[in-house]
Amino acid sequence: MAIFKGSGVALVTPFDKDNNVNYDMLQKLIDFHADNGTDAIIIVGTTGEGSTLSMEEHAECIRQAVAMTKGRMPVIAGTGSNCTETAIKLSKDAAKDGADALLVVTPYYNKATQKGLKAHYTAIAKEVDVPIIMYNVPSRTGCKIEAATGAELVKSVDNIVAMKDATGDISYAADIMHLTNGDIELYSGNDDQVIPLLSLGGIGVISVLANVAPKETHEMVTSYLEGNHEKARKIQLDAIPLIHKLFCEVNPIPVKYAMKAIGYDAGSLRAPLSEIEPEHAKELVAAMKEFGLKTV
């Protein structure tokens, strides 16, 4: 049984005026997604600024998300680190606190070899009894899970079952689907490539776009999976200008601003991230309106 099928939101972490986690707003965001068809909550990942949260904040965000979601959709916790022991601790804590699955990014900065990646993921998986999604985003980490490595991990480790593919390389997705005979839960990590990845056997997206357009992102994926390819294609193509603007600066700078624009003030960003440039903000809001989103 898949962790989820459809649209999983890479949820922003809301901060208050003192730059502390705003749990009241977190509840509002989770309710917003539950009401608009989002199929999974991904908490404290890249978009959730997990790398600038303290260990205590990281754990509390997961605990709160699990409690707030109340079983309405799976909660997937980002628990990756460039230190294997730290990733194990984060993963064990998240599993203990009720996360339904873990999203584990490759160890950034250290740039592990493929042998090292196999050892890293295997060591984490042995310490938890929940499913693991490998997160392959070499543009941010400088470290890529080669298709053969990912396939070997899925075949040899029972609870490594999925991959979030943010390589931007459709040939890569084809390779890993071929090497696993399709026996992998493959999620797009790029909002502009959801339909191409689904066409190769993917089952969903872990999405930045879904923060501001949850209903549309859900409908794009479910329409495709239900055979309405024309509707899914139209949503994908209509969303392209907005997706581009959501990545006009490094994620999550634009999407944090976009949340305010739709009436959910998720607060500022933690250093070293900076606020969006004014010209980019104007272009982003214009793209949101063009896509049909209501702004305040």
204-207 vs 185-188, strand pairing mode: parallel
Residue 135, classed as helix, strand or coil, is: strand
202: pLDDT strictly greater than 90? yes
Instruction: Tell me how far the alpha carbon of residue 24 is from its chain's centroid.
Output: 22
Entry pTM: 0.97
Q: Which amino acid is at 224?
A: Y
Instruction: State the angle between helix axes of 147-156 and 170-179 in degrees (0 to 180), rounded to the nearest 10.
Output: 40
CA-to-CA separations, 259 to 12, 28, 140, 262, 267, in angstroms, rounded: 9, 12, 23, 5, 9
Average pLDDT of the residues in 5-17: 98
Q: Quickly state the pLDDT bin for 104 (edges 50, 70, 90).
A: very high
Distance linking the first and last C-alpha atoms of the chain:
40
Check the CA dihedral 195-283-16-265 and report its sign: negative
Q: Which of 135, 172, 187, 224 is catalytic?
A: 135
Arithmetic mean of pLDDT, 189-194: 98
70 is catalytic: no
Any idea which architecture 6-226 has in CATH? Alpha-Beta Barrel (3.20)
* pLDDT for res 47: 98
Note if 264 is an active site residue.
no
Q: What are phi and psi of 204, to 5 degrees?
A: 170, -170
Please report the sign of the dihedral spanned by the C-alpha atoms of residue 133, residue 136, residue 141, residue 145: positive
Of 118, 164, 245, 256, which is the active-site residue?
Answer: 164
Burial (Cβ within 10 Å: 0-12, 13-18, ≥19) of residue 62: buried
- Tokens at 294, concatenated: 């209501």
> 138: pLDDT confidence band, cut at 50, 70 and 90?
very high
